[in-house]
Amino acid sequence: MPASMPTETDTFAAAWEDWHAVHEQHRADPHGFLAVTHLHWLDGHAARLDGAPGAWSVENDVVRVVLEAGESLLQDGRELNTAAGATLDFGPIEERGGVNLVSGSTVLELAKRGGAYVVRPRNPQNGLLRDYRGTPSYAPDPAFAVGGTFVPFKAPRPTTVGAAVEGIQHVYEAPGEIRFQLDGQELTLTAFNGHAPGTLSVLFTDATSGKTTYAANRSLTVAPAVDGTVRLDFNRAVNLPCAYTDLATCPLPPAENRLAVAIEAGEQIPYERQARS
């Protein structure tokens, strides 16, 4: 008997499987967020940090690192200094920007979050990364891939949102909102600029949050066409780093993006978070 032709649902599921495999590969990068071992907040007092050489401090928007004899840091493959008492200065760094420094097999992420400076060592031997076994997800369902319209604001709106760690806030520029229908309801989501040119990022929660999906947030990337039409494939809604580790500073959704409908699509609560519940 001739082999049956794949159905539209089969093709949709296969495309999702390919996409999610690439996403999982990126998430398990040896120096990705699963490799973060510590979250160090810097202040004006020089302090040695677990997982990093030197004594670190920040003053007037400049981070200073004082190395001892035998300690070194690399930046872009170049050794900065190994002399005893060497002083290195970095900054100022833009909000949500950062610098990667290397110490042995560890990458040190020096970044600015919520107006404060942080250092996050990323070690490939971190247990969270070493034991990672993938993320559970809903089976792909074309019913949760819907069309919508991106409606730009007259001017981008600065939008302040909370963070996964207490004490800081994030400010994003929202260029507009996305209007769509799901489960017979008219819905709207405020969109932020995405990482890639021409994309938008949507942070949201829904009626599954805290039940089958991570309570604080999920993220969906979309790419509006020139005429504003957009496809929201919630099967590709993903967890942010804070779903896996408490060493993340992820933003929370704006209040208007807390949807009452159940979006039973996309990534679910990670195994790592389930184990701590």
- Model confidence over 191-200: pLDDT tens digits? 999 999 999 9
Q: Establish if 70 belongs to a structural domain.
A: yes
Give the start-end residues of each E strand in the chain: 40-41, 47-48, 55-59, 62-66, 74-75, 78-79, 87-90, 98-103, 106-113, 116-122, 145-161, 170-182, 185-193, 200-204, 218-222, 229-233
What are 97-134's pLDDT values in tens digits?
A: 999 999 999 999 999 999 999 999 999 999 999 999 99
Q: What is the rounded CA–CA span in Å between residue 263 and residue 275?
A: 23
- Let me know whether 102 and 196 are in one domain: no
Provide the residue range defining the domain that includes 261: 8-28+135-276
Do 54 and 150 have their domain in common? no
Instruction: Supply 48's token pair.
Output: 């040695």
In the structure encoding, which two tokens stand for residue 196, read together? Answer: 């890639």
With respect to residue 126, please indicate whether it lies within any of the assigned structural domains.
yes
Specify the length of the chain in residues: 277
* pTM score: 0.92
User: Is 1 contained in some domain?
Assistant: no
- My answer on whether 251 and 164 are in the same domain is yes
Residue 129 CA to chain centroid, in angstroms?
16
8 A C-beta contact, residue 153 and residue 188: no
Residue 153's contacts (CB-CB under 8 Å, 6 or more residues apart) are 174, 175, 176, 177
Hunting for tokens 């993320």 — which residue is that? 135
> Are both 150 and 93 inside the same structural domain?
no
Does 142 fall in a domain? yes
Q: Give residue 275's pLDDT band: very low, low, confident or very high (50, 70, 90).
A: confident
Mean pLDDT over the full length of the chain = 94
266 and 140, same structural domain?
yes
DSSP helix/strand/coil, 271: helix
Partnered with residue 277 across adjacent β-strands are: none
- Indicate whether 82 pLDDT > 70: no
Q: Is the pLDDT of residue 81 over 80?
A: no
Asked if pLDDT for residue 5 goes beyond 70, the answer is no
The answer to whether residue 277 scores a pLDDT higher than 70 is no
Q: How many domains does the chain have?
A: 2
Instruction: Give one word for 264, left, alpha or beta, with left for phi > 0 and alpha for psi -120 to 50.
Output: beta
* 93 and 45 share one domain: yes
Segment 47-64, tens digit of pLDDT: 999 999 999 999 999 999
Q: From the CB of residue 124, how many other CB atoms can be counted at a distance below 10 Å?
A: 15
Q: Are residues 24 and 83 in the same domain?
A: no
pLDDT per residue over 84-93, tens digit each?
A: 678 999 999 9
Burial class from Cβ neighbours inside 10 Å (0-12, 13-18, 19+) for residue 219 reads: buried
Report the C-alpha gap between 138 and 24 in whole angstroms: 15
Cis peptide upstream of residue 158 (ω within 30 degrees of 0): no
Is residue 145 located within the same domain as residue 248? yes
Determine, yes or no, domain membership for 172: yes
14 and 57 together in one domain: no
- Based on the domain organization, do 99 and 175 belong to the same domain? no
Strand partners, 113: 116
* Closest C-alpha among 51, 31, 35, 24 to residue 128: 35
pLDDT at position 3 over 60: no
Q: How confident is the model at residue 2 (pLDDT cuts 50, 70, 90)?
A: low
- Given a cut of 80, whether residue 177 has pLDDT beyond it is yes
What is the reported pLDDT for 1?
Answer: 42
CA distance to 2, 112, 208, per residue, from 61 (Å): 69, 10, 41
Residue 21 lies in a domain: yes
User: In the listed set 105, 130, 155, which residue is the last one of a domain according to the structure?
Assistant: 130
